[in-house]
């Protein structure tokens, strides 16, 4: 059954719209109890209880909007968080080096370059080679600094509301790297951050973050040998004491209205199932009644529910679902919301 346990760890990246972020934080504040890094560590290690609606905010990469948009809103509403940064990407003494994905998106806004890199199983040195030659071939200058400066990270760290965690040096897909490079990326980022901030680093987030595909046992063991007590993936499910402390799941949020975000978080790991149903609806593939029953049972257990299915959804002759104006497809969405 869903909705029994609403513990969620949320993962943001770059945020472009301050109003959107403020609305999301206000929504979360009205539904959840925020916890900080220390409370989460005590929950896993000391069995300290956390309420059923606990929520933790995390932000990856340390993009400059972490300082200009995210941090001011967190401060305004007193919301704790962890920011995961790379010590190599924080501008120091006027010099900077952006993340590979920032340069790749800048090179080619059609996303083809990003897709090539994602699908090619390339280690980080090859990724940089691909980007460098693309930039040279197309006479593209490297981007100005995109990330927080060391001064800004130190300021956030010293104020105590937001903890700073490590996120490797160069943001590779760790599982694609050699043993020594994988070890270096993790250990060096933790050590270097500790040197820069003057205290132990307690949290780590795997770049890209999908278990098995992006990191595995090897990486989890390396993190466990550092000062880090917890490490986070991007596996979208609720967190609980059953988690391995070096692979704690998180839900990614990047767009959508507060209502959409609320529904997404409530559905938790079932969101993927509902998305599949809605995708079938949009692509006008008819969904069988038994399939819908199966999905609903998966979502709601044997709890009674009332839903009105439009005839087109049940394989009837109606083809109006192909139209953007289709009131039937709107009808099914409202039906889902009524249940929620």
Q: Which residues bind Zn ion (CB under 5 A)?
A: 60-61, 207
- The answer to whether 140 and 82 are in contact (CB under 8 A) is no
Q: By C-beta, is 32 or 173 nearer to Zn ion?
A: 173
Smallest distance from the beta carbon of 168 to Zn ion, in angstroms?
Answer: 8
Residue 129: count other Cβ atoms within 10 Å of its Cβ. Answer: 11
Q: By C-beta, is 172 or 268 nearer to Zn ion?
A: 172
Q: By C-beta, is 74 or 85 nearer to Zn ion?
A: 85
Which residue from 195, 332, 264 is spatially nearest to 2, judged by alpha carbons? 264
Smallest distance from the beta carbon of 248 to Zn ion, in angstroms?
Answer: 16
C-alpha–C-alpha distance, residues 13 and 198, integer Å: 25
Strands 81-85 and 162-166: parallel
C-alpha–C-alpha distance, residues 123 and 21, integer Å: 33
Q: By C-beta, is 44 or 84 nearer to Zn ion?
A: 84
C-alpha–C-alpha distance, residues 83 and 37, integer Å: 10
Smallest distance from the beta carbon of 181 to Zn ion, in angstroms?
Answer: 17
Smallest distance from the beta carbon of 61 to Zn ion, in angstroms?
Answer: 4
Torsion of CA 230, 232, 236, 242, to 10 degrees: -20
Dihedrals phi, psi of 205, to nearest 5 degrees: -125, 130
Under the phi-then-psi rule, with left for phi > 0, alpha for psi from -120 to 50, and beta for the rest, what region is 244? beta
Output the DSSP codes for 81-96: EEEEE-TTTSBBTTB-
Smallest distance from the beta carbon of 263 to Zn ion, in angstroms?
Answer: 26
From start to end of the chain, where are the E strands? 8-12, 33-34, 54-60, 81-85, 162-166, 203-205, 230-232, 251-252
Q: By C-beta, is 54 or 168 nearer to Zn ion?
A: 168
Smallest distance from the beta carbon of 192 to Zn ion, in angstroms?
Answer: 17
Dihedrals phi, psi of 91, to nearest 5 degrees: -65, 125
Smallest distance from the beta carbon of 171 to Zn ion, in angstroms?
Answer: 6
Q: By C-beta, is 21 or 83 nearer to Zn ion?
A: 83
Residue 250: count other Cβ atoms within 10 Å of its Cβ. Answer: 23
- Residue nearest Zn ion by beta-carbon distance: 60
Q: By C-beta, is 113 or 277 nearer to Zn ion?
A: 113
């Amino acid at each position: 059954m869903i909705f029994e346990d609403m513990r969620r760890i949320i993962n943001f990246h770059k945020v472009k719209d301050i109003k959107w972020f403020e609305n999301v934080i206000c929504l979360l504040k009205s539904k959840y109890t925020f916890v900080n890094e220390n409370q989460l560590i005590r929950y896993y290690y000391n069995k300290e209880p956390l309420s059923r609606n606990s929520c933790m905010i995390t932000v990856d990469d340390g993009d400059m909007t972490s300082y200009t948009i995210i941090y001011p809103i967190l401060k305004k509403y007193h919301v704790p968080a962890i920011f995961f940064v790379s010590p190599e990407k924080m501008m120091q003494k006027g010099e900077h080096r952006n993340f590979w994905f920032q340069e790749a998106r800048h090179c080619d806004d059609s996303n083809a370059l990003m897709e090539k890199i994602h699908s090619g199983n390339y280690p980080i040195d090859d990724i940089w080679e691909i980007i460098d030659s693309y930039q040279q071939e197309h006479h593209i200058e490297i981007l100005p600094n995109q990330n927080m400066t060391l001064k800004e990270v130190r300021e956030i760290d010293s104020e105590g509301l937001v903890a700073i965690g490590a996120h490797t040096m160069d943001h590779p897909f760790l599982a694609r790297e050699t043993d020594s490079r994988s070890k270096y990326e993790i250990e060096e980022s933790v050590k270097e951050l500790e040197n820069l901030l003057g205290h132990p680093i307690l949290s780590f987030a795997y770049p890209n973050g999908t278990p098995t595909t992006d990191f595995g046992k090897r990486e989890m063991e390396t993190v466990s040998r550092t000062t880090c007590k917890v490490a986070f993936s991007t596996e979208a499910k609720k967190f609980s004491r059953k988690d391995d402390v070096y692979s704690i799941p998180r839900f990614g949020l990047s767009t959508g209205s507060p209502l959409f975000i609320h529904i997404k978080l409530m559905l938790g790991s079932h969101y993927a199932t509902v998305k599949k149903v809605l995708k079938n609806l949009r692509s006008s593939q008819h969904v069988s009644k038994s399939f819908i029953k199966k999905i609903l049972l998966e979502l709601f257990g044997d709890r009674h529910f009332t839903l009105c299915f439009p005839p087109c959804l049940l394989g009837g002759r109606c083809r109006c679902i192909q139209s953007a104006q289709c009131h039937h497809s709107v009808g099914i969405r409202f039906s889902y919301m009524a249940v929620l």
